[in-house]
Each structure stands twice: as structure tokens, then as C-alpha cells.
């Protein structure tokens, strides 16, 4: 019993000492972990920094959603890459950019209210989007698909106001 108590006190002392020195000294190497939400910025800032969401950001600007995505949230954004937008049929994106109301509905169909992390997503069969319609969620061979065809390729990118999951196609609401 005394030995267990002594070992516990020693372990706590080591942890306290490590935390104290870590807080007062700068790291000598760059961190390798993903940035924390506080360091990452809001969803728009994270998407901008990534560099592969320029079309999504252009569309969000045209639809008047940038301030919303910078808001307090929390939000979960299923973010199509530039390649996902490029895969749309010819002329689709240009037509949507000229129809801000329709574009806004499509973009809001990519957003779920609240912070839904990957470990939570895999337990769901659907999620209601901010646009109002649900997306179906299935897991096949360890990969998450939205509406049975859109693949989630990267998960849990932290933002100060939520989380981003990268998808390989643009989600379209059922009525479109």
C-alpha cells in the first residue's frame, strides 16, 4: 500500500514537473499534430489556409454565407474540394453562382448544426442539415459515405467554431 501511494505521488510529481517546464519553455521542433481549434481559426479561416477549398469559399461569398461560417457555431461542414466542384457537369457552377438563393440552399445542405466528430458520424444513419433536409450516412468497409455516393476523405479538421470533414463530391439536396 505504501509503495503504491509512493509511486502515485511520484507519478503526479513527474506530470506536474513536465507540465510546468513545458509551459515555460518553447518547443525546439515544430509540432506534428493537427492544430488545435483555437490555433486553427474559424471554419472560413481553416478552409482558406488549406488552399483546396477556393471554389467553396467563392460560392459561400456569392451566397452570402461567409459571415455565418465565421459565426459562433458550432457547425459541422462537409466540405467539397475544388476537384469536387470541378467534377460538376459543365456550366453547373456558373449557373449556381448566378442564382444565390439556390446556391445558398446547396451550401447549407453541406452544414450540420453542432460539432459532429468522425466518431459520432459513424454511429449515425442520417443527419439533418441546416438547409432542412437530411443526408444519409452509411459506412462501407470503414469508409463513410453521404447519400450513398459522396465519400468522406478526411475527417475532424478542427476549427474554433466547429469541425470540417472533407468530401469528394458536391452534395445536392434531393429536390435538385
Sheet with 75-80, strands from edge to edge, namely: 111-113, 75-80, 162-167, 150-159, 143-146, 134-140, 126-128
Give the three-state DSSP class for 67: helix
Whether residue 124 is contained in a domain is answered as yes
Whether residue 99 is contained in a domain is answered as yes
Whether residue 23 is contained in a domain is answered as no
Whether residue 17 is contained in a domain is answered as no
**CB 160 within 8 Å of CB 42:** yes
Cell of 114: 453542432
Q: What percent of the chain has pLDDT over 70?
A: 77
Cα–Cα distance, 148 to 145 (Å, whole number) = 5
pLDDT at 22: 31
Res. 34 pLDDT band, cuts 50 70 90: very low
**What average pLDDT does the segment 156-165 reach?**
95
Does 125 or 36 have the greater pLDDT score? Answer: 125
**What average pLDDT does the segment 128-146 reach?**
96
**CB 129 within 8 Å of CB 110:** yes
Within 10 A of 72 (CB to CB), how many other CB atoms are there? 9
CATH of the domain at 91: 2.30.180.10
Average pLDDT of the chain is 80
For 48-106, how does the pLDDT look when each residue is reduced to its tens digit (9 = 90+)?
999 899 999 999 999 999 999 999 989 999 999 999 999 999 999 999 999 999 999 99
**CB 55 within 8 Å of CB 93:** yes
Give me the number of domains the chain comprises: 1
pLDDT at 40: 65
Whether residue 22 is contained in a domain is answered as no
pLDDT at 174: 84
**What average pLDDT does the segment 93-122 reach?**
95
What range defines the domain where residue 125 resides?
36-167
Whether residue 176 is contained in a domain is answered as no
Q: Cell 455516393 maps to which residue?
A: 149
Cα–Cα distance, 115 to 138 (Å, whole number) = 19
**CB 97 within 8 Å of CB 103:** yes
Does 165 or 34 have the greater pLDDT score? Answer: 165
Q: What is the pTM of this model?
A: 0.76
pLDDT at 176: 60
For 88-101, how does the pLDDT look when each residue is reduced to its tens digit (9 = 90+)?
999 999 999 999 99
Whether residue 163 is contained in a domain is answered as yes
Whether residue 112 is contained in a domain is answered as yes
Nearest to 77 by CA among 50, 118, 103, 113: 113
Res. 1 pLDDT band, cuts 50 70 90: very low
Amino acid at each position: 500500500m505504501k509503495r503504491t501511494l509512493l509511486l502515485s505521488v511520484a507519478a503526479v510529481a513527474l506530470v506536474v514537473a513536465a507540465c510546468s517546464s513545458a509551459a515555460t519553455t518553447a518547443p525546439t521542433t515544430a509540432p506534428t499534430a493537427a492544430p488545435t481549434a483555437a490555433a486553427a481559426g474559424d471554419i472560413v479561416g481553416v478552409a482558406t489556409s488549406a488552399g483546396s477549398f477556393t471554389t467553396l469559399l467563392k460560392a459561400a461569398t456569392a451566397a452570402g454565407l461567409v459571415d455565418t461560417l465565421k459565426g459562433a457555431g458550432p457547425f459541422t461542414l462537409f466540405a467539397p474540394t475544388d476537384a469536387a466542384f470541378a467534377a460538376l457537369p459543365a456550366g453547373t457552377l456558373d449557373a449556381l453562382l448566378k442564382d444565390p438563393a439556390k446556391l445558398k440552399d446547396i451550401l447549407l445542405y453541406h452544414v450540420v448544426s453542432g460539432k459532429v466528430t468522425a466518431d459520432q458520424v459513424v454511429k449515425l444513419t442520417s443527419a439533418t442539415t441546416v438547409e432542412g433536409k437530411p443526408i444519409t450516412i452509411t459506412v462501407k468497409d470503414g469508409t463513410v459515405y453521404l447519400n450513398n455516393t459522396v465519400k468522406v476523405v478526411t475527417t475532424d479538421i478542427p476549427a474554433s467554431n466547429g469541425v470540417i470533414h472533407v468530401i469528394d463530391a458536391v452534395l445536392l439536396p434531393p429536390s435538385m
